[in-house]
A and B are shown apart, each in its own frame.
Chain A
Amino acid sequence: MAAAGEALRIEGLRKSYGDLAVLRGIDLTVAEHEVVCLIGASGSGKSTLLRCINLLEEIDAGRIWIEGVEITGRGVNVDRVRRRIGIVFQAFNLFPHMSVLRNVTLAPRKVLGLSRAGADEQAMELLSRFGLADKRAEYPDRLSGGQQQRAAIVRALAMKPDLLLLDEITAALDPELVAEVLDVIRELAAEGMTLVIATHEMGFARDVADRICFLDEGVILEQGPPSVLLTSPSQERTQRFLQRVISAGRL
């Protein structure tokens, strides 16, 4: 049984694509209101882990609980699970044929059964909060990358998820647009949203994370508070990864 106050628990998660073992036994527990950052080289399994938590990928072995309820058992309604977990993608994945407002209100209306007026009102509240109220009628391709990503965050938030997964959400942005998106995440973290964030932005991870997990070859090699993990990691591979990051000027 999962303890109270636990937003997410993962035990022994494994995932392979053919012969390629991407996740080789992940154990991770995230408390409510906790902000966990996943760092690691490209291909270390960060994105796959997030997609597994959201059941977008079928897992090979292991179990996952959300708020103490197992979501990996047989007969689980995956659509119901996904309502409680929001995910924001690197490439935004906004629906190009819908205005920003319709992007945000689609799921509340079709999944939660909100009325159009109710969904619109809730969406406008969120859009105003994130500085997108005047973009409500625009189509995604008329927005800057930063605006698109903020719209995607609003779309995920409109489902009032218990847990929000962020998959390298600034990796596809021009450098000058990164800050506006990260500020939004800082705000969410400050409000107590439970966040699991895959990121290459070490400075951001240091500021926002309660805990940082270093993924290496499909396992969480080392984890701890940013002050410890980013400054005096105990594992040699973590040290080497951080050295590379520092020499690339990313920390």
Chain B
Amino acid sequence: MSGVAPTTPPELLGSRGSRLLGRMRPSGVLVAVLSTFVFFGVLGYLIVTSPGWPRVQQSFFSPEHFATAFPDIVVALWKNIQLFILAEVLILVLALGLAVMRSLPGPVFFPLRLMSVAYIDLFRGVPSILVVYLFGFGIPGLRLPGVTNDPFVLGLIALVLVWSSYVAEVYRAGIEAVHPSQEAAARSLGLSRLQGLRYVVLPQAVRRVIPPLLNDFIGLQKDTALVSFIGVIEVFRRTQIEAGGSFNFTPYLACGLVFLVLTIPMARFVDWLAARDRRRQLAGLAR
């Protein structure tokens, strides 16, 4: 019996260039290094010999200003991280609810499907900054008793609403990618529709969409800067304060750097996951 799938070594399964160097021979590496030096050397030369360079260097690449602003910016980043983590948890839950609502079949569930579609169309269709503004300034303006005026909370709500609509569509794609025969198998065993969803469809759906989910979270990480516009002193607002106080733009550079420190590891993690999935798929096909 041809029972066990042979575990094909990954290097035999064609890499599709997701890794930077791929499979290069030593001579190839040498060429890559040389061409990289030449390319960036020329680019750097053009920049530093441009007429405005001394001035740009002074206002964007000032080591003293960087050293002064950087510690404060790192401290302010903590607000964004809090915001991001809280939002991510809430989004995962809310979006799953939306996606499940949208996937319910039959005429009985039409109102739920309608609500889900309307919600997604609305919040995916307007600029995030607009939602942040409406919540940050609109809700306090209503002067409702017992409702918070905390811009952090209001900004959090706005981000959750916006990004849930994106994430719900990612979930939905995953649910639809699970073959209907899986649900048929679950139902044929006597599982209810919800049990089939919970134990059979969703676990497979979520596994498939983890890379695109993480991709959306990179977008969310960057969008946390939007709450600066409604008065939260987070990393971007702190940067503006630093820059305004010193009449120097170097803090913006520092701000960009700390965002990259957040998002690049996530991006590499997504790449790694996608590559692993592709290897698994190929290993499955290689049988």
Residues of A within 8 A of B (CB): 54, 56, 78-80, 82-83, 85-87, 89, 91, 93-97, 106-107, 110-111, 135, 141-144, 146-147, 155-156, 159, 177
Report how far A91 CA is from B146 CA in the complex, Å.
57
A79 pairs with B192, CB closer than 8 A: yes
Looking at the assembled complex, report how far the CB atom of B280 sits from the nearest CB atom of chain A, in whole angstroms: 9
Closest A residue to B193 by beta carbon equals A79
Residues of B within 8 A of A (CB): 1-5, 181-182, 184-192, 195, 199-200, 203-204, 207, 284
A147 pairs with B3, CB closer than 8 A: yes
Report how far A95 CA is from B202 CA in the complex, Å.
12
A143 pairs with B3, CB closer than 8 A: yes
B181 pairs with A159, CB closer than 8 A: no
A106 pairs with B199, CB closer than 8 A: yes
Report how far A77 CA is from B3 CA in the complex, Å.
40
B3 pairs with A87, CB closer than 8 A: no
Known A-B contacts: A80-B190, A144-B3. Give 14 more (CB < 8 A).
A54-B188, A79-B192, A82-B187, A87-B188, A95-B182, A95-B204, A107-B190, A110-B191, A110-B199, A111-B189, A111-B190, A142-B4, A155-B189, A159-B190
Closest A residue to B188 by beta carbon equals A87
Q: A82-B189, A107-B191, A111-B190 are in contact. Are A93 and B181 (CB under 8 A)?
A: yes
Report how far A111 CA is from B199 CA in the complex, Å.
12
Looking at the assembled complex, report how far the CB atom of B6 sits from the nearest CB atom of chain A, in whole angstroms: 11
- Inter-chain contacts of B200 with A (CB < 8 A): 95, 106
Closest B residue to A51 by beta carbon equals B184
Q: Which of B1, B187, B189 contacts A106 (CB 8 A)?
A: B189
B3 pairs with A111, CB closer than 8 A: no
Q: Please list 18 pairs of residues, one from A and one from B, whose beta carbons are closer than 8 Å in the complex, sorted by A's number.
A: A56-B188, A79-B187, A79-B190, A79-B191, A80-B190, A82-B187, A83-B189, A86-B188, A93-B182, A106-B189, A106-B200, A111-B195, A135-B3, A141-B284, A142-B4, A142-B5, A143-B3, A177-B1
Q: Which of A54, A89, A93, A144 contacts B1 (CB 8 A)?
A: A144
Q: A80-B190, A106-B189 are in contact. Are A142 and B207 (CB under 8 A)?
A: no
Looking at the assembled complex, report how far the CB atom of A165 sits from the nearest CB atom of chain B, in whole angstroms: 9
- Inter-chain contacts of B199 with A (CB < 8 A): 106, 110
Looking at the assembled complex, report how far the CB atom of B36 sits from the nearest CB atom of chain A, in whole angstroms: 41
Q: Which of A89, A97, A177 contacts B181 (CB 8 A)?
A: A89
Looking at the assembled complex, report how far the CB atom of A148 sits from the nearest CB atom of chain B, in whole angstroms: 10
A95 pairs with B1, CB closer than 8 A: no
- Inter-chain contacts of B207 with A (CB < 8 A): 97
Q: Which 5 A-B pairs have the closest CB atoms?
A: A107-B189, A93-B185, A83-B190, A111-B190, A82-B190
A97 pairs with B203, CB closer than 8 A: yes
Closest B residue to A81 by beta carbon equals B190
Looking at the assembled complex, report how far the CB atom of B132 sits from the nearest CB atom of chain A, in whole angstroms: 38
Closest A residue to B181 by beta carbon equals A93
Report how far A147 CA is from B3 CA in the complex, Å.
8
- Inter-chain contacts of A96 with B (CB < 8 A): 204
B1 pairs with A147, CB closer than 8 A: yes
- Inter-chain contacts of B185 with A (CB < 8 A): 89, 93-95
- Inter-chain contacts of B186 with A (CB < 8 A): 95
- Inter-chain contacts of A147 with B (CB < 8 A): 1, 3
Report how far A155 CA is from B185 CA in the complex, Å.
10
Report how far A144 CA is from B187 CA in the complex, Å.
25
B181 pairs with A146, CB closer than 8 A: no
- Inter-chain contacts of B5 with A (CB < 8 A): 141-142
Closest B residue to A177 by beta carbon equals B1
Q: A96-B204, A142-B5 are in contact. Are A91 and B190 (CB under 8 A)?
A: no
Looking at the assembled complex, report how far the CB atom of B276 sits from the nearest CB atom of chain A, in whole angstroms: 15
Looking at the assembled complex, report how far the CB atom of B212 sits from the nearest CB atom of chain A, in whole angstroms: 18
Closest A residue to B189 by beta carbon equals A107
- Inter-chain contacts of B204 with A (CB < 8 A): 95-97
- Inter-chain contacts of B195 with A (CB < 8 A): 110-111
- Inter-chain contacts of B2 with A (CB < 8 A): 144
